Amino acid sequence: MTPKYLPFSVLFILIVFGCNSPVVNSDAKSQQNPISDTLSLAGETHLQNTRQLTFGGDNAEAYWSFDNTMLVFQANNPTWNTGCDQIFYMQLDDDITPSSIPPRQISSGQGRTTCAYFMPGDSSVVFASTHQKDSLCPEVPPRGPNGEYVWPIYAAYDIFTANLNGDLLDQLTDYAGYDAEATLSPQGDKMVFTSTRSGDLELYTCDIDGSNVLQITETLGYDGGAFFSPDGSQIIWRASRPETPEEVSHYKGLLLEGLVEPTEMELFVANVDGSDARQLTHLGGANWAPYFHPDGDRVLFSSNHHTGGFPFNIFMIGLDGEGLEQITFDSAFDSFPMFSPDGRHLAFSSNRNNGRTRSTNVFVAEWQEQ
């Protein structure tokens, strides 16, 4: 985002951006019918038969199972007895309505969890959690002295795997610092994640058992939210790039406090080993949550470059930086676009249809190519 200081409504939404979300008050009874073409807004020609899958609270980062039948996501919903973000999953063929029972919880409820992703076979997931350091939810830091939005980089985060019953299977990282934001390649053989083990927020790849760790970024700034291309040969991610002495000093100072100010970001793409890295977008503002289109030649992402602050909408751009197209036309917040492995559906998180509450919900739509 271009502005350094944002109104509260924008700050609230952006907390989801950092894979960390606060307790919110919502009124699920004010939600509309969960299956309705009215959930697609005017101009959203790529989205058809949009369904709402959660109702109330804060629900985001819904990632697909390899077999296209499930979504795993993080949620903080007071009616589900969560004190901070926990990991849940749902079947796409569930009969989901505002009065449905809560989806199945995977995480234990201890600590804060974030960024879950299905493992090959769809019987387990990988996610980050702070539970090993403290069973309580870590505190959300206050805004800066001038109202700046900051995102906590909890050093207590490590990456774990668990089965769908919530039984922990393995711990993949064990470093004194932030390890989170893990996602898998479509082939199921590689993982990419963000870590502070070098002293900066950098991207690393590894095998899915946590072995053969390779650092693939090394430029000062926050590198995170990475995803593989459909063929597993490339990585797309969001990054900040402080350049002036003042920007560098500010970034490093916040990082020493376990914080980042993720308000100015662009998209970068590189080969899976980090070679041939290049900046894809030059739009200004906050450009983040990128995900490859199934053709491997385009990328969907969330951005506020068109507003300078609020709202956020989903856009699509070619890997050559051309053909920018707006996909959603919300007056509030749309982000986390995720294609199903078969390319037929798009999951995303949105403030639409929330009864004028602050709840963020998960939606899924049939993707229509133009």
pLDDT-based confidence at 6, cuts 50/70/90?
very low
pLDDT-based confidence at 222, cuts 50/70/90?
very high
Q: Give the rounded percent of residues in the chain with a pLDDT score beyond 70.
A: 90
Q: With 0-12 CB in 10 A as exposed, 13-18 as middle and 19+ as buried, what is 90? A: buried
Quote the pLDDT of residue 18.
Answer: 47
Residue 24 has pLDDT above 70, yes or no: no
Quote the pLDDT of residue 77.
Answer: 93
How confident is the model over 246-266, as a mean pLDDT?
A: 94
How confident is the model over 115-130, as a mean pLDDT?
A: 98
Whole-number Å distance between alpha carbons of 146 and 144: 5
Q: With 0-12 CB in 10 A as exposed, 13-18 as middle and 19+ as buried, what is 83? A: middle
Residue 288 has pLDDT above 90, yes or no: yes
Quote the pLDDT of residue 13.
Answer: 42
Quote the pLDDT of residue 356.
Answer: 87
More confident residue, 335 or 96: 335
Answer for the pair 177, 196: CB distance below 8 angstroms, yes or no: yes
Quote the pLDDT of residue 284.
Answer: 95
Quote the pLDDT of residue 9.
Answer: 37
Answer for the pair 269, 228: CB distance below 8 angstroms, yes or no: no
Whole-number Å distance between alpha carbons of 226 and 291: 8
* The two structure tokens encoding residue 132: 């090993």
43-57, 132-146, 157-171, 235-249 — which is least confidently predicted? 132-146
Which DSSP symbol is given to 136? S
pLDDT-based confidence at 269, cuts 50/70/90?
very high
Q: What is the mean pLDDT of the chain?
A: 90
How confident is the model over 326-347, as a mean pLDDT?
A: 97
Size (the chain), residues: 370
Residue pLDDT, tens place only, 153-162: 999 999 999 9
More confident residue, 29 or 142: 142
Phi-psi region at 318: left, alpha or beta (left = phi > 0; alpha = psi -120 to 50): beta
How confident is the model over 10-36, as a mean pLDDT?
A: 40
Task: Give me the residue spans of the domains in the chain.
Answer: 8-367
Radius of gyration of the chain (CA): 19
How confident is the model over 247-272, as a mean pLDDT?
A: 95
How confident is the model over 306-324, as a mean pLDDT?
A: 93
User: Closest by alpha carbon to 350, among 314, 315, 308?
Assistant: 314
How confident is the model over 159-176, as a mean pLDDT?
A: 97
129: β partners = 113, 158
Whole-number Å distance between alpha carbons of 78 and 61: 18
How confident is the model over 256-270, as a mean pLDDT?
A: 94
Residues 6+ apart with CB under 8 A from 322: none
Q: How far is CA 300 from the centre of its chain?
A: 13
- CATH number, domain 8-367: 2.120.10.30
Q: Give the rounded percent of residues in the chain with a pLDDT score beyond 90.
A: 80
Residue pLDDT, tens place only, 59-80: 999 999 999 999 999 999 989 9
